[in-house]
Amino acid sequence: MRATMKSLAALLGGLAVVASAGMAIAQETPPAGGEPKDFNLAEATEFELPNGLGVTMVPYGKVPKTTVQLVIRTGNIDESADEVWLADLMGDLMKEGTTTRSAEDIAREAASMGGSLNIGLGLDRSSVSGTVLAEFGTDLVALIGDVTLNPAFPESELDRLRGDRIRQVSIARTRAQSVTQERFRAVMYPDHPYGRLYPTEEQLQGYTLEQVRGFYEANFGAARSHLYVTGMFDEAAIREAIEAAFSGWKEGPPATVDIPEPVTGRAVHILDRPGAPQSTIQVGLPTVDPSHEDFVALSVSNALLGGSFASRITANIREDKGYTYSPFSQVSSRYRDAYWVEMADVTTAVTGASLDEIFYEIDRLANEPPSEEELRGIQNYLAGIFVLQNSSRAGIVGQLAYMRLHGLPDDYLETYVDRIYAVTPEEVQRIVQEYIRPDDMLLVVTGDRDQVEEQLVEFGTPIVD
């Protein structure tokens, strides 16, 4: 069903393995397969426009499509406490037309190229992007350039878009996963944009066209942006189109650097959801970000602990106990900031039992290194995922943009697999001891308070609302 047809990211955390229970006696062993084939990372060409806009072009694949993605180092990080989602509203309004194109023109032109124009505002990165049939690659560059440089910001559309965002927030606040995430972030990042996941209706009602324009003027510019082109394209023609579309862009200010100081320490929060059949859990703590020397070892440890199908937590609470469908842990990162989190929706009656098992698995890995064999399995898995991550247009752009954001060295991709395999069992144990510390974890549970509160007392005095 749709529900089981997960995206790749979710797929990494779906099913799981139980090593002991119910194993059949193997009469045949799997054929080992042949010799591994070489993997060619796609070759990139880079250049920079005089205004500071960096460009990376990566020819890739045989499917006649071109992806163009402009990444701008701005987003919610540039909002003040009373401007939550002003960035998002600005992004909405950018699609409503340029000085020479109406919203319908933009939609039709993109559709005639076999694509659509997408604008997404994120926490510390935003993008204007599209994927079209390859013969229209240069036209897409021109369209993205016009939308980015010459937005009309028509006042006539502001109230409609505001209403859409108010409706979206209203619905998000009835989703257990959204409100859990909102609280988790608010507690971890007080007084920082990362801690303000949703605006109030009053905030959205209050934003003016001047504020929208002001946000654009203050935060859009070539110096903090990078353009990626990948897929099938004619390099010379694309380059010419980029120069034509973006040379006139103002340099603008550099990206904002506002590194948060997240709160670390055990706290238990309950968000009451009367009658809920499940409890929605997020449990985690701030940790090291991708620029840290321990980050690769942390990624390996996370995959083994809770971040893959065969991981220990998933094997325990899903495949052994049947408490949940889609438990998953990850290291969520932003520029010089990251936290580790385990997320799960568990049957209400086993809320406390699920947390006991999660902490049991963390403690077990902190107390005893994994076997060489278990670790090797995870390393093979991450090496395979690495190939997948670099084997699609979106994946290639994602990897390059990730390196650029975090300031990773040029040989990052080339050496990544070696660094995965260099992690030892003892290092995994040390990483868990050092970075995945239950005593310092924030625990947010959205569920039926009457049934859940007592189950959570063992983890700390719950703050309830």
Partner 1 sequence: MRRTSLWAGAAAIVAMALTACQPADQPTAELDTAFSVPVEYYTLDNGLRVVLSPDNTAPIVTVAVYYNVGLRLEPRDRTGFAHLFEHMMFQGSENLGKMEFVRLVQEVGGVLNGSTRMDFTNYFEIVPAHKLETMLWAEADRMKGLAITQENLTNQQGVVSNEVKVNVLNQPYGGFPWLDMPQLANTNWYNAHNFYGELSDLEAATLEDVQEFFDTFYAPNNAALAVVGDFDPAEARAWIEQYFGPIAAGPEVPEFDISEPRQEEEKRSSKVDALAPRPALAFAYHTPERNSPEYWAFGLIDQILVQGEDSRLFQRLVQEDGFTAGVGGSMNDLGNIYNYEGPMLWTVSLYHDADVSADDILAAADEVVERIRTEPVDEETLARARTKLKSSLLNSMEGLFGFGRADLLASFALFDDDPSRINRIEEEFAAVTPELILQTAQEYLRPTNRTILTVEPGAAEGGAAAGAGSR
Query: Long-range contacts: 366-372, Cβ < 8 Å, 24+?
Result: 366/429, 366/432, 366/433, 366/436, 367/429, 368/429, 369/424, 369/425, 369/426, 369/428, 369/429, 370/304, 370/425, 370/428, 370/429, 371/425, 372/425
Minimum distance from CB of 48 to partner 1 (Å)?
A: 8
Whether residue 304 contacts residue 295, with contact meaning beta carbons closer than 8 Å, is answered with no
Which residue, 12 or 358, has its beta carbon nearer to partner 1?
12
Minimum distance from CB of 233 to partner 1 (Å)?
A: 7
Residue 178's closest CA among 186, 46, 323, 148? 186
Which residue, 179 or 405, has its beta carbon nearer to partner 1?
179
- Cα 239 from chain centre: 30
Minimum distance from CB of 180 to partner 1 (Å)?
A: 12
Which residue, 421 or 438, has its beta carbon nearer to partner 1?
421
Minimum distance from CB of 24 to partner 1 (Å)?
A: 4
Which residue, 31 or 293, has its beta carbon nearer to partner 1?
31
Minimum distance from CB of 21 to partner 1 (Å)?
A: 6
Query: Long-range contacts: 30-35, Cβ < 8 Å, 24+?
Result: none
Beta strands in 304-398 (DSSP E): 328-334, 337-347
According to DSSP, residue 319 is labeled I
Bridge-based pairing of strands 54-59 and 225-231 is parallel
Which residue, 20 or 99, has its beta carbon nearer to partner 1?
20
Which residue, 12 or 441, has its beta carbon nearer to partner 1?
12
Q: Give the integer Cα–Cα distance in Å for 311 and 329.
A: 9
Minimum distance from CB of 3 to partner 1 (Å)?
A: 5
Q: Which two tokens stand for residue 451?
A: 């049934």
Minimum distance from CB of 277 to partner 1 (Å)?
A: 5
Q: Where are the alpha helices (DSSP H) in 220-350?
A: 235-246, 295-305, 312-314
Q: Which two tokens stand for residue 452?
A: 């859940």
Which residue, 112 or 367, has its beta carbon nearer to partner 1?
112
Q: Give the integer Cα–Cα distance in Å for 459 and 355.
A: 9
CA distances from 303 to 276, 356, 378 (A): 30, 20, 7
Minimum distance from CB of 296 to partner 1 (Å)?
A: 14
Which residue, 14 or 253, has its beta carbon nearer to partner 1?
14
